[in-house]
Amino acid sequence: MTNAQKNRIIDKSFQAFGVVCTFFGLAILAVLIYNIFEEGLSRINWDFITNLPSRRPQKAGIYTAVMGTIWILVMTTLIAFPLGVGAGIYLEEYTKKTKLASLLEINIANLAGVPSIIYGLLGLEIFVRIFGLGGSLLAGSLTLSLLILPIIIVATREALKAVPSSIKDASMALGASKWQTIWNQTLPASIGGVLTGVILAISRAIGETAPLIVVGALAYVPFAPSSPMDEFTVMPIQIFNWVSRPQHGFAVNASAAIIVLLLITFMMNGIAVYFRNKWQKKIKW
């Protein structure tokens, strides 16, 4: 066998291996989804969504967890959206390229890499104890807001960076102040990218379990929360709770709840992708 032939065989073998690896990833995804749907789909009905938790798997529902997740979603958005986008604007448009600015950048990169459970410890000590919020929705959403802040900031900065400076110059030259320029030109032109980042970040927050367990979200909450100071549980914690129980009925419940959680997650990711595409199509400079 000549050298060239040998090389060609190696090349072809690697290509085959590449196909296998790629489909391995996709196949696992398919198996995971198939398994969960097979086990849980028949369990999903209106009662399952609207029932309160119960010790008997057939009667147990996810109502309190769904309501908790919705509360967390809304409150985290209200806190993290303005703070994250505001911080992104400040860092991208108002800071000069100084040592301090690069320190801020390193800091945010590091925060993005801090494990979520560490944010849980922060929330436990600061919000739950020192602020005295207890294991409330407010403490939980404040904790999650800090967790996703770096994601929103980075996405906002990327989106703002993509707006050509010629547009900003034109606005400034017409006598617009810096903020008028940002509000009227830079933000509208980058809103697609900003929203994409925010939605992806919120979707991450919805799937988080560990930090909320640490701040004291409960596995068993008899009633749906009705104010930000109420105790709560969320879908991932409800799933965790059911997964940890030995009876098969709860595993079925966990699968069914996972279907609902996955639908929410995929829907949010879908919306994010939609925003990104729409935005890319609309603006060609």
Partner 1 sequence: MTVKEPMSALVKNPQGAPRKNTIIEARNVDVFYGKFQALKDINITMEENSVTAFIGPSGCGKSTFLRCFNRMNDYIDEFSIKGEVLIDNKKVYWKNVAVEELRKEVGMVFQKPNPFPKSIFDNVAYGLKIQGINDKTFVEERVVKSLKDVALWDEVKDEMKKSALALSGGQQQRLCIARTLAVKPKIILMDEPTSALDPISTAKIEELMFELKKEYTIVIVTHNMQQAGRISDKTAFFYMGDLVEYGDTKQIFTNPKKERTQNYITGRFG
Partner 2 sequence: MKFSEKIIVALLKFAASITIITTIGIIMVLLFETINFFKEVSFWEFITDKEWTPLFAQKHFGILPLVTGTLLTTLIAIMVALPVGLTIAVYLNMYAPKGFRKTVKPLLEVLAAIPTVVYGFFALSVVTPFLQSIYPDLAGFNALSAGIVMGIMIIPFVSSLSEDALYAVPKTLKEASFGMGSTRFQTSFKVMVPAASSGIIVSIILAISRAIGETMIVAIAAGQQPRFGFDPTVPIETITAYIVQVSMGDVPHGTLEYRTIFAAGITLFAFTFVLNSVSFWIKKRYQEKYD
Interface residue list for partner 1 (CB under 8 A) = 96-97, 164, 166-167, 169-177, 180, 184-185, 188-189, 282-285
Give the one entry of partner 1, partner 2, none that residue 224 binds, where binding means its C-beta sits below a cut-off of 5 to 8 angstroms depending on kind. Answer: none
d(CA 142, CA 216): 13
Kindly tell me which of 26 and 78 has the beta carbon lying closer to partner 2: 26
Give the one entry of partner 1, partner 2, none that residue 86 binds, where binding means its C-beta sits below a cut-off of 5 to 8 angstroms depending on kind. Answer: partner 2
Kindly tell me which of 31 and 226 has the beta carbon lying closer to partner 2: 31
Q: C-alpha 59: how far from its chain's center?
A: 30
**Closest approach of partner 1 to the CB of residue 99, in Å:** 13
Give the one entry of partner 2, partner 1, none that residue 17 binds, where binding means its C-beta sits below a cut-off of 5 to 8 angstroms depending on kind. Answer: partner 2
CA angle (241, 242, 245) in 5-degree steps: 95
- The token pair that represents 96 in the structure block: 């000069």
**Are the C-beta atoms of residues 93 and 182 closer than 8 Å to each other?**
yes
Residue 247: which region, alpha, beta or left (left: phi > 0; alpha: psi -120 to 50)?
beta
d(CA 48, CA 71): 19
Kindly tell me which of 137 and 239 has the beta carbon lying closer to partner 2: 239
Kindly tell me which of 13 and 226 has the beta carbon lying closer to partner 2: 13
d(CA 270, CA 253): 26
Kindly tell me which of 87 and 226 has the beta carbon lying closer to partner 2: 87
Question: Within a 13 Å sphere around the CA of 72, how many CA atoms are in the beta-carbon half?
Answer: 35
Within 8 A by CB and 6+ apart from 105, the residues are 91
**Closest approach of partner 2 to the CB of residue 110, in Å:** 5
**Closest approach of partner 2 to the CB of residue 274, in Å:** 13
**Closest approach of partner 2 to the CB of residue 43, in Å:** 14
